[in-house]
Amino acid sequence: MIEWFSWVQIAVALAAGVFCLVMGLLGKKPNDFTLGSLILVELLLIVQVVIAIVAPFVGNHPTGHPLEFWAYLISAVLIPPLAGFWGLVERNRWSTVVLGVASLAIAVMVIRMHAIWFVQLA
């Protein structure tokens, strides 16, 4: 992981989550903006996958268990497409709320991945 990139991911996921929650609670159905924010979160996760593959080869090893990190990362990569599919199939205000909750869950998962990579005690 790259530390500054993980903080960017967290900020984007939080912003997308709050945006989708507000839109859903205002009664808006999923639209290009709400789904687009989730796509942005997914793209950042895909970049994180590439970073996580390359980082150990350049001397940036996780301080925690790599299997735990990869379990979080793979799970996180699966959440946005599933939430987006839900938003496209069941188009109501609660689907937009689901998009927001998915983005907030991604933020929490990236925080945990950050902790696994950087701040494990020996």
pLDDT digit string, tens, across residues 21-63 = 999 999 999 999 999 999 999 999 999 999 999 999 999 888 9
Q: Which pLDDT does position 112 carry in this prediction?
A: 95
pLDDT digit string, tens, across residues 96-122 = 999 999 999 999 999 999 999 998 765
10 Å Cβ neighbour count for 15?
15
pLDDT digit string, tens, across residues 58-91 = 998 889 899 999 999 999 999 999 999 999 999 8
User: Read out DSSP for the chain?
Assistant: --HHHHHHHHHHHHHHHHHHHHHHHTTPPP-HHHHHHHHHHHHHHHHHHHHHHHGGGGT---SS-HHHHHHHHHHHHHHHHHHHHHHHHS-SHHHHHHHHHHHHHHHHHHHHHHHHHH----
